[in-house]
C-alpha cells in the first residue's frame, strides 16, 4: 500500500509541475517504488500529455508500453528528454 501511495504522490507532483523529468529519474535511482513505475504512466501524467500523445512519444522513442522507468536505456531516456523537455 505504501508503494502505491508513493507512486500516486509522485504522479501528482509530476502532473503539477513540481517534479521535473530529470528530478524524477534521479528519484527513481534512489527509490525502488518509483523505479517500478511504468514509463507510460509517467508520460501520461505530465501536463498537456494525454494517452494518445503519450503512446505516440513512446512509439517514437521505441519504448514498449509495459516498460518500467528502471528499464529505460540511455537512448530511450535521451529521446524522452528530447520529446518532452522544451
Alpha helices in 1-86 (DSSP H): 2-16, 21-30, 32-35, 39-45, 51-60, 74-84
Q: How many domains does the chain have?
A: 1
Contact 44, 54 (CB under 8 A): yes
The whole domain housing 69 covers 2-84
Residues 32-79 pLDDT 10s: 999 999 999 988 888 888 889 999 999 999 999 999 999 999 999 999
- The predicted structure's pLDDT at residue 85: 77
pLDDT value for 40: 92
> If you search the block for the grid coordinates 517514437, which residue do you land on?
60
Helix, coil or strand: residue 46? coil
CATH of the domain at 32: 1.10.8.50
Q: What is the pTM of this model?
A: 0.81
| Confidence label for 83 from pLDDT (cuts 50, 70 and 90) | confident
Amino acid at each position: 500500500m505504501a508503494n502505491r501511495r508513493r507512486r500516486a504522490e509522485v504522479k501528482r507532483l509530476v502532473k503539477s509541475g513540481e517534479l521535473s523529468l530529470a528530478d524524477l529519474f534521479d528519484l527513481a535511482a534512489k527509490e525502488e517504488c518509483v523505479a517500478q513505475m511504468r514509463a507510460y504512466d509517467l508520460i501520461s501524467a505530465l501536463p498537456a500529455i494525454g494517452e494518445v500523445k503519450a503512446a505516440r512519444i513512446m512509439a517514437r522513442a521505441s519504448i514498449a508500453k509495459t516498460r518500467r522507468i528502471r528499464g529505460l536505456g540511455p537512448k530511450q531516456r535521451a529521446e524522452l528528454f528530447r520529446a518532452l523537455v522544451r
